[in-house]
Structure 1
Amino acid sequence: MSDTAAPAILVPPKPAAGHRGRIEVVELGTRFLLVSGWVTGPEGRAPSAAISLALPDGRAHPVGGFLRRRDLAERGIASEPCGFLVDIPRPEGPVETLSMALRAGVRELLVQPLAALAPRPFRPRGHLDHVAPDRIAGWAFDPAQWHGPAEEAALELVVDGTARIPLSLNATRRDLPFATVQRGGQLGFDFGLHDIARLMAAAGLERDLLEGDHAYALLAGGQRIGALQGSSSRRSRLVQRGARPAAAPAPAAGTAAEPAGFVDWHGYSRAQGGWFFGGWLRGEALQGVETCRAAARFEDGTVEVEAAISPYPRQDISGLGLGYIAFLPSPLNDPGLLQGLEVTLDEARPLAPSLGIARMPEAELVAMVRMLLGAATRKPRTALLKVLAQPAYEGEDTLAKLPVPLHLEVDSLLVAPGAGAVLMGWWLDPSRAVAAIRLRSRGTLSAPLGERWIATERADIREAFASRFSLDHAKHGFLAYVEAPGLDPADMHLEIELATGEIGFKPLPAPGGGGVGAIRRLLGAVQLAPDEVVDRCDRVLGPPVVALNRHRLAAAGAPTIVAVGDLPEAPRCSIIVPLYGRIDYLMYQCALFSEHGLPADELVYVLDDPPKRQALMDLAQSAYRRFGIPMRLVLLEENLGYAPANNAGLAHSRGEYVCYLNSDVMPEEPRWLDLLTGALEADPALGIAGALLTFEDGTVQHSGMTFKRLPQLGGFPYAMHPGKGRIRPPSRGLQPAEAVTGACMVLRRDLANELGGFDEDYVVGDFEDADLCFRIRARGLGCAVHEDAILWHLERQSQGSSGNFWRHNLTLVNGWSFARRWGHLFPEASPGTDAVLRLS
């Protein structure tokens, strides 16, 4: 919240001694006002008088509790909780004409005209924390729940935009800062198996709707307030709710519920990758329990996981309950002060920090836990003892100490920020003793690498070990993807678990560089059979390639802009031409453009080949002196690829229309651009227009695209060019098409800007033009080819060189991205619908 609200109008009598405050924000609900601000008592402490808000009708509305406001503490205004958030009934009539008084006791601190605060409509807040067949949890804050009307307060979980499951608030959420002053914190919902069965039955829905990959949205009164995307079975159980939630204020004397137990000590163990807690719990509910749901609330976040827990006898609480030790795995090793722990046994049991709670040093922590549990000489029989039994990683390779022959080497490690890591190397497990290989980072253990693993040919390994082991194949190499968005590259190692329970450790090499080089290494390491494409793109190749590409584009520097000649101030059309490799095409295009000139248009060349920067500037100056065609050069700092290069051209162009043109496309006749822009001007329902492209011999290269699923390429839909290679038929003028090629396409500039140009998730160059056409069609606009606008296309052949798999695999990954977005438009023979791979 801000301290820059409009000046308050101070009125007598004088405020309560030492009190001051401010009303900051007013939000308008249908039947309520939500008001936020702050009040301090003497010396910046909590108010010592009763605080209330009053409207002209004379009724005072008490402020029931206060929030800690870090911003006020940092500015020296308050040292204790003094922020407020209160909802009051909305008075009748125009709110903007009213004033609101902030009172301390019977005295007014200030009177604030509401119009000066620019009241804004209230929007419900909320979040979906967890959606699965066995649990739906989250929170929602909407005062319409208690002010009405009922339809505005209806809370629903919407699945895939259609199925609706009514929810209700049934849980206290003390972890939300504002919940402590709103309706006793009853702002959460948490439904288990039986409740979910009842909700789904009432809604007439099946439970499997909460399994697999779905889009989940939380609605309050029809407004979207929270969402989750993806498979609930893979969703992390670590929940961080906001930044630095404030501590819950102590309840008033005589109203506090007795805690179910206490936390006497806690500490973080990097070796085990989580938090240990110790204390005591009332009653005997812990008997026989090894694991339970637990949530530890810290100053900077909440850890909610399945915990290992064990009771142990404590003489000091004999007759009251049992001592406990709990372990909560978590990468959060410094989340601030502990505010509370909750364990769910037969019911949720809150455990409060005891008065003398201690943070144990890491060096002493595990030894103390072992001593309390008597674990030093006992075999690991319980979940907690198994945690203690696992060896600690000390930076050494311990595979040679395992009781089986095992070799594993990681030759290359790539980190894909926001997605995870890719490991490439080789391994031998001749006795088939390995149960799982996992990556650990900052205390978090990944899923087994075998779930996202591609075996690769390594004849060198087979030859090297053939005399020692009986090896029946050469696929001893691997490429494995670890899905871990929060990966810490500085703190990673592998844990190799045998079927017998022993664990060995493997240090990892330093991560390699990123950029296109990383994408080349990743995709060049594998060959995919047709029946492997979909699965490997889904689980191994697609996510890290897209993430690596996003990261390299985000790090790209600003381009250099060079003007050659005098460009028109308000051009009709911007012709954007990316250049890579053959920059000499600029000279040929300018020569042909010069026959008729481009008086109303601007020519924008984007250099996507930085080493040729000086050569291009020299070539452009020479072309201008020869042909008099002015142009703008957009010189990129590094090679970005087709979509980003064109988008850079769009950002530095000014035409009413935009023409995307390949450098190897040459005009055959002068009317081509007039015809394409004219078609768009004549028909507002036409979104994009393409030209008829021919080979040098006059046969058709492109006259619009259709799409067909190709089983030999994963069954993804690929662009087809009907009539390609045939003699050009008589012109039919403007003809509708499913899509047109990016080699020559024209659209309105405002539409191009609205769409953000080409989608840059298509890496280097494939499918961007088809995707752009389908996004335009999704807006209800048409796509067409003008058969009178004729250009030559030299169509370079740059892919498919022998032994170079990376570019072929990149096409598959881009096809995967396209199919995920638009595959529903081509249901015929989609991947997974036919158990037989049909290549004919």
Structure 2
Amino acid sequence: MSDAEQALPATSHTATRIMRGGRVAACPIDDGLLLVIGASGPAAGQLPAEINDDAATVTNAYVTAWRLASPSPSVTHGFAALLPTDDADRPLTTLRLGQEGRRYIFAPRTLAVREAVTILAELSGGQLTAVLDSLVDAMIQITAGRRRLAVIVALIQSRKGGDGFLEFVGETHEGSIFLRGWARAADPGNTQVIVCGENPVFADCAIATFSRQDIPKGAVGFIGLLAASEPFRARDVEGLVYRGGGGWRYAALHQSRQIAGPAETPAQIRSVLLQTHSSPAVLLKLRSAANSFEGRETISTLPVPVRLGVDNIFQANSGAFLISGWLLDPDGHVQSVRLRRGSTDMRLDDRWTRLERSDVTDAFSDEPLFKSMLDQDTHPHGFIVFASGLGEDGMAPLHLELTLKDSRRAFLPLTPARLPPRRAVLRQIKSIDPENWGLAEIVDRQIVPFLCASESPSPTAGNILDAGAFDDAPGPPIIVAVGQTEERELAPFLGLLALDPETRQAPIALVLNSECFRRQAARIRQLAQFYRLSLRLMSSETDDVYDLLEAGIRALPSETVVLLAGSLLPRRSGWYGNLLAAYEEKGGVISPTLAYEDHSVRWAGTWADPQSGSLSGRYAGYPLSAVTGLKLTRIAAASFECCILPREVFLTAGGFAGSYLGSQQKGQDLGLRLSRIGIESWWLPSVQMLGSDEISAPDGASAAPLIERIDEKLFSARWAPGPESRDNRMVEASA
């Protein structure tokens, strides 16, 4: 090698060697693609290629070629080949290319992208733009990852001179990115672009152009709406690679650009939209974006007789919604009503249940827009609807989108109340007339699906206060759940526990609603100390007795626990020891007989009918004397108002299902789940507890029939997806 050649920069030296023919240089694009630069005859297109004389590496390469400025008899053209490979990092020695298998020697060092572009510029001269465009076209046809996209961007940016600037980048609530700027070669219509940034992405771009006097001659103003397969933010956009007139172009982000949020972007689109031209489809997209949600209510400004209101919207932890409100549309202008969050939405008007709302008719009967249109005899304006599947993106605002038949849209922002599903339903059914003609559909299509789709957090204990030597007391702890209805009877209840020698010595965990705890803690502590009970007082943010029991179970480390609803009173002393003895003999879950205060049987086991698969009780209404002498009996499900069971088994089964509104199905549901995992349930007839029908009465007695109906539907939905499987589980449980 001459001294002159040694003095050349690495790229010039490589280019000189390539010009001689027989030499190629490789630039790894990513792990699956090589860019190979060389010189040969005029061959181009799809050509077979083989690396390192290894037949296993044969593949098809995409080759673009150009005539050299100073050709020789044997080397007339330069070429750039895109070569798919399963290992771009392998040592490269030889390349065979084309049908004739011309053999080349690889340069010992691979090139960086910048070096490869410099060599291409030296070899192609004024043809560089066409060469780069051809390579980019080929690379885009191959599935591209982020690294390959970054190389494409680098190739386009390597050319001298800019093709335009992005002056405004804004977001919409629907997930689109709006661009405004100018470019020398932007064409109106739909096109695929690469959004440049730290992580470049492919996106579809709807482009419209317009005339501007403040830009270079020959350039045009443009606006564009980006829709990518993966989300990104306006602040991530650093430029745009697009296919314009004459090839691929790059528009950089202007140093004085403006980045806007969803509240400002629609107005920016509207300010320029009327000046633009493009295809009808593109203009329709841009008009829709210009009319997108801006964070404010716009339904009340509609010039047509349409109004919409929401009375309640509840959101469970799982993202399920229960919405009630009204839509007044006497002239039939509304095409659809959707619940939207960001780029996700769900149509509501094709799934909601309509209700009579005479109050809505009365409220608008004097309004000029509605006065002559409202029928005073029918009022089907109300609705209740369950919705889910929008995700839990806390950054995107939740709103209703109302679309009219003339394509206009209006919006209503929503702020859901985040409540446990049980509490949400109890609050909702307060507003439902029990005589409403649509009640059955409301329960079946809205309430029950909402409860089924919701996830209830496990109840937990809050404040804990010891009023005796709880940790030193012998035996399994008795967890007593006291709801608001039993709060007044605490003194005699504690007195009965103190009169029984067994329970006076046992550890007692008294779990109350947090408000009851605040009012009663000091008094209960005094009573416990007076009676010398080993008492631990706990609070929980619930008034459901089963949830109070579960909070106590989760707060204690004991292997075995005894559950007792505060509405029950032991008929005789010794019940605690008898339950414990039966448990030591049989294990599983063991419950006593539950009776009314007139000593008639209320509950004496839950049994499964092998024929129908339904669950039912026996001996209800019988005198206690009819069952007292019976032996310990296996049943389908125990009563968790009073029972003894292993704590770990309760936790493994998942605890009580929080979505039930009442008590009966809530206990049966857990009983069947315990049976499904092989835990037996037993009834101990010789032990009796006295109490009323309901251990909890949520929302008062007037709602009891509706609550019972909802729980029955919910229980059936959970346990009867297939009749045969349900029957088998129940038969096994009662075997």
Normalising to structure 2: TM-score of the pair?
Answer: 0.61
> Could you tell me which residue of structure 2 aligns to residue 767 of structure 1?
665
- The equivalent residue for 1:498 is 404
Q: Could you say which residue in structure 1 is the equivalent of 2:592?
A: 691
Residue 309 of structure 1: CA displacement? 3.6
2:462 to 528, 537, 559: 559
Task: Give, in angstroms, the shift of residue 577 of structure 1.
Answer: 0.7
Q: Indicate the residue corresponding to 1:435 in structure 2.
A: 335
Q: Within the alignment, does 1:397 sit opposite 2:298 as a pair?
A: yes
Output the CA distance in 1 between the equivalents of 2:481 and 2:201.
49
Residue 485 of structure 1 corresponds to: 391
SS in 2 for 1:583: helix
* Pair 463,697 (structure 1): closer, same or farther in 2 beyond 3 Å: same
Q: In structure 1, what residue type is equivalent to 2:348?
A: L
Write out aligned runs for 1:680-719 (5 A): 680-683=583-586, 686-706=587-607
Pairing 1:406–2:306 present: yes
Q: Which residue of 1 aligns with 2:567?
A: 664
- Paired position in structure 1 for 2:368: none
CA 1:462–1:669 in structure 2 vs 1: closer, same or farther (change >3 Å)?
Answer: same
Query: Aligned ranges for residues 138-149 of structure 1 at < 5 Å?
Result: none
Q: d(CA) in 1 for partners of 2:153 and 2:224?
A: 29
Q: Using the alignment, how far apart are the partners of 2:663 and 2:353 within structure 1?
A: 25
The reply on whether 1:450 has 2:374 as its aligned counterpart is: no
1:743 is aligned to 2:633 = no
* Cα distance in 2, alignment partners of residues 817 and 736 from structure 1: 26
Q: Which amino acid aligns with 1:473?
A: T
Aligned partners of 2:149, 2:173: CA distance in 1, in Å?
Answer: 38
Match of 1:724 among 591, 616, 620: 620
Superimposed CA distance per residue, residues 548-575 of structure 1 (whole angstroms, 9 cap, x where no aligned partner): x54xx78x7x522222233362632111
Q: Which residue of 2 aligns with 1:215?
A: none
Q: CA deviation at 1:658?
A: 0.7
Would the alpha carbon gap of residues 813 and 371 (structure 1) be closer, same or farther in structure 2, given more than 3 Å must change? same
Other structure's SS at 1:673 match? helix
1:339-389: CA deviation from partner (whole Å, max 9, x where unpaired): 99999xxxxxxx997666886544689868996996469866765344345
Deviation at 1:521, TM superposition (A): 2.9
Q: Which residue of 2 aligns with 1:243?
A: none
- Alpha-carbon distance between aligned partners in 1 of 2:700 and 2:156, rounded to the nearest angstrom: 74
Q: Measured at CA, do residues 511 and 258 of structure 1 come closer, stay the same or move farther in structure 2, by a change above 3 Å?
A: closer
* Contact 1:454–1:479 under 8 Å retained in 2: yes
The Cα shift of 1:641 comes to 2.5
Cα deviation, 1:295-334, whole Å, max 9, x if unaligned, reads: 97976x99999x67458799x9xxxxxx994432899674
Who is 2:536 aligned against? 632
| Higher RCO by CA contacts (8 Å cutoff, separation 6 or greater) | 2
Give how far 1:392 is off.
6.0
- Larger of the two Rg values belongs to structure: 2
Q: Post-superposition shift, 1:675?
A: 3.5
CA distance in 2, matches of 1:275, 1:295: 13
Instruction: Determine the C-alpha separation between the residues in 2 that align with 1:263 and 1:818.
Output: 64
Alpha-carbon spacing, 1:783–1:336, altered in 2? closer, same or farther (3 Å): farther
SS in 2 for 1:450: coil
Deviations 1:157-205 (A, max 9, x none): xxxxxxxxxxxxxxxxxxxxxxxx99789xxxxxxxxxxxxxxxxxxxx
Residues 357 and 731 of structure 1: CA distance in aligned 2, closer, same or farther (over 3 Å): farther
Q: What CA distance in whole angstroms lies between the structure 1 residues aligned with 2:476 and 2:644?
A: 9
Q: Which residue of 1 aligns with 2:632?
A: 734
CA distance in 2, matches of 1:482, 1:493: 13
Q: CA deviation at 1:704?
A: 1.5
Aligned to 1:327: 226
Aligned mates of 1:473, 1:422 — CA distance in 2: 25
Alignment-derived partner of residue 579 in structure 1: 482
Q: Aligned residue for 1:569?
A: 472
Give the 3 Å change call, closer, same or farther, for CA 678–730 of structure 1 in structure 2.
Answer: closer
**1:41-440 alignment to 2 at 5 Å?**
265=166, 267-270=169-172, 273-276=175-178, 309=206, 325-328=224-227, 334=233, 337-338=236-237, 361-362=259-260, 375=276, 384-388=285-289, 390=291, 393=294, 395-402=296-303, 404-419=304-319, 421-440=321-340
Contact preservation (8 Å) 1:415, 1:489: no
Distance 1:65 1:486, change over 3 A: same
Aligned counterparts of 2:481 and 2:148: Cα–Cα separation in 1: 64
Mapping of residues 465-476 of structure 1, within 5 Å? 465=364, 468=372, 469-476=374-381
Instruction: Tell me, yes or no, if the aligned pair for 1:311 and 1:324 is still in contact at 8 Å.
Output: yes
Q: Would the alpha carbon gap of residues 732 and 65 (structure 1) be closer, same or farther in structure 2, given more than 3 Å must change? A: farther
Q: Residue 183 and residue 563 in structure 1: after superposition, are their counterparts in 2 closer, same or farther (change >3 A)?
A: farther
State the number of aligned residues: 558
Deviation at 1:498? 0.9
Distance 1:279 1:397, change over 3 A: closer
What amino acid is the match of 1:736? Answer: R
- Partners in 1 of 2:552 and 2:288 — Cα distance? 56
Is the CA contact (8 Å cut-off) linking 2:321 and 2:450 kept in structure 1?
no
1:645 deviates by 1.5
- CA separation in 1, counterparts of 2:267 and 2:229? 16
Name the CA distance, whole Å, in 1 between partners of 2:285 and 2:347.
21
The structure with the largest helix share of the pair is: 2
| 8 Å CA contact retained: 2:662, 2:697 | no
The yes-or-no answer on 1:822 pairing with 2:719 is: yes
CA contact (8 A) 1:407 1:428 kept: yes
Amino acid at match of 2:595: T
Structure 2: gaps spanning 5 or more residues: 1-27, 32-84, 90-144, 216-221, 243-247, 366-370, 728-735
Is 1:783 aligned to 2:689, yes or no? no
Structure 2 CA distance for partners of 1:803 and 1:495, relative to 1, 3 Å? farther
1:477 Cα deviation from its structure 2 partner = 1.9
User: For residue 579 of structure 2, what is the aligned residue in structure 1?
Assistant: 676
1:677: how far off? 2.8
Shift of 1:756: 5.1
1:597 partner SS:
helix
Structure 2 vs 1, CA of residues 302 and 629 (structure 1 numbering), >3 Å: closer, same or farther?
Answer: farther
Rounded Cα–Cα distance in structure 2 between residues aligned with 1:677 and 1:353: 80
Cα deviation, 1:246-302, whole Å, max 9, x if unaligned, reads x9557999999999x999758333376521369999x99x99869x9x997976x99
Corresponding residue for residue 545 of structure 2: 642
SS of 1:777 mapped into structure 2: helix
Provide the rounded CA distance (Å) in 2 between the counterparts of 1:809 and 1:309: 52
Per the normalisation by structure 1, the TM-score is 0.54
- Tell me the CA shift for residue 596 of structure 1: 3.3
Q: What is residue 21 of structure 2 aligned with on the other side?
A: none
- Say what the alpha-carbon RMSD is for the aligned residues: 5.4
Q: CA deviation at 1:747?
A: 0.8
What amino acid is the match of 2:172? R
The 8 Å contact of residues 308 and 326 in structure 2, kept in 1 or not, is answered as yes
Is it true that 1:533 corresponds to 2:454 in the alignment? Answer: no
